[in-house]
A = this chain, B = another copy of it.
Amino acid sequence: MNNKESENTETEILNAAKEVFLQKGMAGARMQEIADKANINKALLHYYYRSKQLLFEAVFKSAFKLLAPQLNRVLNDDTDLFEKIRKFTENYVAFVIKHPYLPNFVIQELSKNPDFIQKLRAEKNFPTIDKFKIQVNEAIDKGIIKPIEAEQLFINIISLNIFPFIGEPLLMALVNMDKESYKKLLKKRKTEVSEFIINSIKI
């Protein structure tokens, strides 16, 4: 058996599955569509991944593996707090342009199946807030930033960065912009968001 080819089929399936699951979610995805996209027979899906559920879990874990380093960039990185916020914000836009459906997919499926987070927690590199917490408290002690709970600050950073993408269709309509203008607005946020945050916390 050609190992390269079989590996190819397996990743071919995973890629096709990613495409379909990320766009349509677990409930909306169809095994036939995944098979078609991978140019294989539907039975092969079940040969490599026993069931829709297992294929979904493989996709989900793989998606989270891409997202985790992004989150770690703000949580577990040693650079200066302000610089970190700037870099994270700048990078996040580029990341979402590359994987437009990914954050929405992860959040959506988690909110339909909250227990699933436990399976992710077990994986290594699951982001934790401990380091960030220390850094924020140090900055407060040094008088660099105003007092704020690290958790609240973290949630603010994440919210300001992720939501404009997840809420795109709604926000686009509310601010009354077409796709192109909205994309421009998002790009501006690369710098605007970090300044907004830093303005708020710096002394």
Contacts and interface: CB of A to CB of B under 8 A. Distances in A.
A1 interface: no
Contact of A107 (B148, B158, B170): B170
Contact of A111 (B168, B173, B188, B193): B168
Contact of A176 (B114, B129, B152, B168): B129
A168 B146 CA distance: 26
A164 B155 contact: yes
A180 to B, nearest CB: 14
Contact of A169 (B114, B149, B158): B114
> How extensive is the interface on chain A, given as a class?
35 or more
Contacts of A149: 185, 188
A156 interface: yes
Interface stretch (A10-18, A20-28, A46-54, A81-89): A20-28
B166 A166 contact: yes
Nearest to A28: B27
A168 B117 CA distance: 11
A167 B173 contact: no
Given A111-B169, A158-B167, 11 more contacts: A23-B112, A25-B25, A25-B28, A104-B111, A126-B173, A128-B176, A129-B175, A151-B175, A155-B185, A155-B189, A163-B166
Interface of A: 23-28, 71, 75, 104, 106-108, 110-112, 114, 117, 120-121, 126-129, 146, 148-149, 151-152, 154-156, 158-160, 162-164, 166-177, 185, 188-189, 192-193, 196-197, 199-201
